[in-house]
Chain A
Amino acid sequence: MTTGPGPTHRTPPTAQAGRAAPATIIFSPEQLAEVRRLQSLYPDKRGALLPVLHMAQDTFGHVSLEAETYVASLFALSPAHVHEVVTFYTLFFQQPKGRHVVAVCHNLSCHLAGAQRIIAHCKETLGIDVGETTADGRITLQAVECLCACEHAPMAQVDDRYELDLTPDKVGRLLAGLA
Chain B
Amino acid sequence: MTEKILTRNFGRADSHTLAVYRETGGYKALDKAAAMQPAAIVEEVKKSNLRGLGGAGFPTGMKWSFIPRGHTGPVYLVVNADEGEPGTFKDRYLLERDPHALIEGMIITARAIRSALGFVYIRGEYVEPWRRFSTAVREAYEAGYLGRGFDIVVHRGAGAYICGEETGLISSLEGLKGWPKLKPPFPAIKGAFGAPTIVNNVETLAHVPHIVNRGAEWFASLGTKTQGGTRIYSVSGRVKRPGIYETSVGITLRQLIYDEAGGVAGNGRLKAVVPGGSSAALLSADEIDVTMDVDGLKNVDSMIGSAGVIVFDETVSIPDALVVVARFYAHESCGQCTPCRESTGWIYKMARRIAEGHGRKEDLDTILDVAKRGAGTTICAFYDGAVGPYISYIEKFRGEFEALIPRA
Whether A107 lies near B328 (C-beta < 8 A) is yes
Whether B332 lies near A85 (C-beta < 8 A) is no
Distance from A160 Cβ to chain B, minimum over Cβ atoms (Å): 4
**Count of chain A residues with Cβ under 8 Å from any Cβ of B?**
48
Residue of chain B at shortest CB distance from A165: B242
Does A60 reach chain B (CB closer than 8 Å)? no
Q: Report A-chain residues with C-beta under 8 Å of the C-beta of B352.
A: 5
Number of A-B contacts (CB under 8 A): 170
Q: Which stretch, A20-28, A133-141, A148-156, touches the partner chain B?
A: A148-156
Question: Roughly how many angstroms separate A63 CA and B137 CA in the complex, as a whole number?
Answer: 29
Distance from B260 Cβ to chain A, minimum over Cβ atoms (Å): 13
With A90-B160, A108-B310, A162-B128 known as contacts, the answer to whether A5 contacts B330 (CB < 8 A) is: yes
Q: Which stretch, B27-35, B172-180, B373-381, touches the partner chain A?
A: B172-180
Does B79 reach chain A (CB closer than 8 Å)? no
Which residues B77-115 have CB closer than 8 A to chain A? 83-89, 91-92
Residue of chain B at shortest CB distance from A6: B345
With A5-B349, A46-B174, A47-B173 known as contacts, the answer to whether A148 contacts B84 (CB < 8 A) is: yes
**Count of chain B residues with Cβ under 8 Å from any Cβ of A?**
67
Per-residue CB contact flags for chain A residues 30-55 toward chain B (1 = under 8 Å, else 0) read: 00000000000111101111110110
Does B285 reach chain A (CB closer than 8 Å)? no
Contact of B237 among A5, A47, A85, A112 (CB under 8 A): A112
Residue of chain A at shortest CB distance from B93: A151
Q: Report B-chain residues with C-beta under 8 Å of the C-beta of A148.
A: 83-85, 88-89, 91-92, 123, 125-126
Q: Report B-chain residues with C-beta under 8 Å of the C-beta of A92.
A: 158-159
Distance from A41 Cβ to chain B, minimum over Cβ atoms (Å): 5
Distance from B386 Cβ to chain A, minimum over Cβ atoms (Å): 12
Q: Give chain B's interface secondary structure class.
A: mixed
Which residues A69-123 have CB closer than 8 A to chain B? 75, 77, 84-85, 88-92, 106-109, 111-112
Distance from A147 Cβ to chain B, minimum over Cβ atoms (Å): 6
Does A29 reach chain B (CB closer than 8 Å)? no
Distance from A113 Cβ to chain B, minimum over Cβ atoms (Å): 8
Residue of chain B at shortest CB distance from A53: B158
Which residues B344-374 have CB closer than 8 A to chain A? 345, 348-349, 352
Question: Roughly how many angstroms separate A127 CA and B88 CA in the complex, as a whole number?
Answer: 33
Whether B310 lies near A7 (C-beta < 8 A) is no
With A42-B193, A54-B156, A89-B160 known as contacts, the answer to whether A7 contacts B334 (CB < 8 A) is: yes
Does A59 reach chain B (CB closer than 8 Å)? no
Does A129 reach chain B (CB closer than 8 Å)? no
Distance from A57 Cβ to chain B, minimum over Cβ atoms (Å): 9
Which residues A1-25 have CB closer than 8 A to chain B? 1, 3, 5-10
Q: Can you list 6 residue pairs at the A/B interface with Cβ under 8 Å?
A: A1-B159, A6-B345, A89-B158, A112-B238, A148-B83, A161-B127
Using A5-B330, A111-B321 as known contacts, list a sample of 10 further A-B pairs with CB atoms less than 8 Å apart, ordered by residue number in A.
A7-B331, A7-B333, A43-B192, A50-B158, A51-B156, A89-B159, A112-B238, A112-B316, A148-B125, A150-B88
